[in-house]
Amino acid sequence: MALGSPESVADDPVTPSRATGHDVLNRGFGFRAALSLAFADISPIVALYAIFALGLFAAGPRFFWAFPIVLCGQLLVALVFGELASRFPYAGSVYQWARHAKGTTWGWTAAWAYIWGLTLTLSTMAYAAAGFILEVFGVESPSRWLLAAVSIGVICFTTAANMIGRQVLKVMIVASIICEIVGSVGLGTVLLLFHRVNPVSTLFQGLPDSSGSTLSTMLIAVAFVGWAFLGFESAGSIAEEVENPERNVPKAIVFALLLVGIIVMYSAAAVILAIPDLSAVLSEQSDDPVSATLTAQLGSSIAKPLLLMFVIGFMSACLAVQSAVSRAVYGMARDRALPGAAFLSKLGGPERMPIRAIGLTAVVAAFFLLFAGSDLYNVLVNFSVMGPYIAFAVPVFAAALTRLAGRWVPGAFTLGRWGAPVTYAAAAWLAFEVLNVLWPRTQPGQPWFVNWSMVISLVSLGILGVAVYVKCRDRITVPVGERVDTVGADEP
């Protein structure tokens, strides 16, 4: 469908699979399930724990202000995604949005970056979860291969949960979210009420004797925090499985980001204000400040529950990330945009799940884990930050160009007259963040290829992507929205 045509692709949300000749995805998710999936994908525990030490040691306590900066920028993106998801409610999120808005090459580029970025994210989250699991069982200084084996076990578990069906997935994600909220909000409240040792003014302090400027250190902090607020788009990846997706998916995208953002900022402020001997922590930059603070303030008895909380947080994020990336693979395969499309586009099981696409994400993520701890893995894993931002930028730029051309047709969820300025602002934010994340920064003690890992991984995967696209492009079908319209026109 052309964007300028008067018909709305949202008029018949059940027909995409019928129009393509493939099985139909069951609509087994409602608004709360879509919101829960997006919430778990971002994950307050992962968002805070994974980048807290990096941000604190890069910019000092004032790195806290990177959270509201990034949240505001990502909220602009979420609002644009809401409009795109309402207009094009098909499996695959960024792939479908970019392709329907601007063309096949745009959609394919977004999907390629998205699939690699999220698959690498899945492997890194499983690796982190494995470390916490081994700590729970008292394993100290585990070998690289033991960590890899447990990580692959984590992926096997999440893969089974994703394949079994939507009800199992929903129950597991909701249970994990309850634990995450209790852990994040509950611990934050206890720290603020009973264990605050630093004044609120601490949040405006930088590193002691810092040689870098405030701007340069905050740019680094913004780059780190940028990874924390990714995943809200996952509600759009399952759009064809959500009831009334034109309205429910946009709300899930926006509310998930807002909820996680508020919880993460609350928890981050609580931890910063509770760090004992903050100046020593900033000078030494050695231990994990989150675990050390909780242990110092709440006692060593908190260690095991804390580790279990981290395991739950990272496991739920793995579940949600795998669910999102598998739908992107399925959406591309259904359009014959990937090698092995006929195999990957098949659904299976009583709940008609994209089992083969889920399995592929598991195999690739597990393969990456065989290299965990190596320089190659360190180079590739950085694409877990760059990939999603490129995938976000492509559909937002496509929407901005479509608006400039005067061809945008809104869906059920619309920003009205604010749509255009929000879209242009979101495009500017993503352009800034892509450059900020991509910019090579020297890391003490690291070889040159690690410092340039963002550029290396982008170029390498870009070259591979061009080769795959050239091979597949002649057999790619028309966008699913056009196939829906064609079926509708042919029927009496």
Q: What are the tens digits of pLDDT across the range 420-457? A: 999 999 999 999 999 998 887 776 666 777 778 888 88
Tell me what pLDDT residue 152 has. Answer: 95
> In terms of CATH architecture, what is 31-409+420-477?
Up-down Bundle (1.20)
Q: Token pair of 219, please? A: 């740019």
Q: How far apart are CA 391 and CA 409, in angstroms?
A: 22
Question: Could you state, in order of their start, the residue ranges of all structural domains in the chain?
Answer: 31-409+420-477
Tell me what pLDDT residue 206 has. Answer: 85
For 331, counting Cβ atoms within 10 Å of its Cβ (0-12 exposed, 13-18 middle, 19+ buried), the class is buried
Tell me what pLDDT residue 475 has. Answer: 93
Between the alpha carbon of residue 357 and those of residues 4, 114, 162, 328, 332, the distances in Å are: 33, 14, 11, 9, 10
In this prediction, residue 407 has a pLDDT band, given cuts at 50, 70 and 90, of very high
CB contact at 8 A, 63 and 55:
yes
Percent of the chain whose pLDDT exceeds 70 = 91
Tell me what pLDDT residue 17 has. Answer: 43
For 267, counting Cβ atoms within 10 Å of its Cβ (0-12 exposed, 13-18 middle, 19+ buried), the class is buried
Closest by CA position to 476, among listed 337, 347, 375 = 337
Average confidence (pLDDT) over 256-266: 93
Tell me what pLDDT residue 491 has. Answer: 40
Return the top range by mean pLDDT from 156-160, 480-484, 485-489.
Answer: 156-160
Can you give the pTM of this predicted structure? 0.88
Q: What are the tens digits of pLDDT across the range 95-115? A: 999 999 999 999 999 999 999
Average confidence (pLDDT) over 64-75: 96
Q: How far apart are CA 2 and CA 36, in angstroms?
A: 33
Tell me what pLDDT residue 320 has. Answer: 87
Q: How far apart are CA 220 and CA 449, in angstroms?
A: 19
How crowded is the C-beta side of 354, counted as CA atoms within 13 Å?
Answer: 32
Q: What are the tens digits of pLDDT across the range 320-341? A: 899 999 999 999 999 999 999 9
Report how many helices (DSSP H) and strands (DSSP E) the chain contains, helices first.
Answer: 23, 0
Average confidence (pLDDT) over 386-400: 95
In this prediction, residue 485 has a pLDDT band, given cuts at 50, 70 and 90, of low
Average confidence (pLDDT) over 457-474: 92
Check residues 14 and 402 and name the one with the higher pLDDT: 402
Average confidence (pLDDT) over 154-173: 84
Closest by CA position to 422, among listed 406, 399, 405 = 399
Contacts of 162 (CB under 8 A, 6+ apart): 169, 319, 322, 323, 326, 353, 358
Tell me what pLDDT residue 2 has. Answer: 34
Residue 238 phi/psi, 5-degree rounding, is: -105, 25
Beta-bridge partner residues of 233: none
Q: How far apart are CA 333 and CA 321, in angstroms?
A: 18
In this prediction, residue 154 has a pLDDT band, given cuts at 50, 70 and 90, of very high
Tell me what pLDDT residue 139 has. Answer: 84
CA R_g for the chain = 22
How crowded is the C-beta side of 290, counted as CA atoms within 13 Å?
Answer: 23
Tell me what pLDDT residue 18 has. Answer: 43
Q: What are the tens digits of pLDDT across the range 13-60? A: 334 444 444 456 777 788 888 888 888 888 888 888 888 888 998 889
Tell me what pLDDT residue 482 has. Answer: 74
Mean of the per-residue pLDDT values for the chain? 85
CB contact at 8 A, 49 and 264:
no
CB contact at 8 A, 65 and 217:
no
In this prediction, residue 167 has a pLDDT band, given cuts at 50, 70 and 90, of confident
Q: How far apart are CA 2 and CA 40, in angstroms?
A: 34
Q: Which residues of 292-317 are buried (b: 16+ CB within 10 A; e: fewer)?
A: bbbbbbbeeebeeebbbbbbbbbbbb
Average confidence (pLDDT) over 120-135: 90
Q: How far apart are CA 452 and CA 284, in angstroms?
A: 26
- In three-state secondary structure terms, 29 is strand
In this prediction, residue 358 has a pLDDT band, given cuts at 50, 70 and 90, of very high
Tell me what pLDDT residue 424 has. Answer: 97
Q: Is the pLDDT of residue 11 over 70?
A: no
Between the alpha carbon of residue 432 and those of residues 114, 403, 427, 437, the distances in Å are: 18, 20, 9, 9
In this prediction, residue 489 has a pLDDT band, given cuts at 50, 70 and 90, of very low
Contacts of 60 (CB under 8 A, 6+ apart): 205, 206, 207, 208, 210, 217, 282
In this prediction, residue 265 has a pLDDT band, given cuts at 50, 70 and 90, of very high
Average confidence (pLDDT) over 168-193: 81
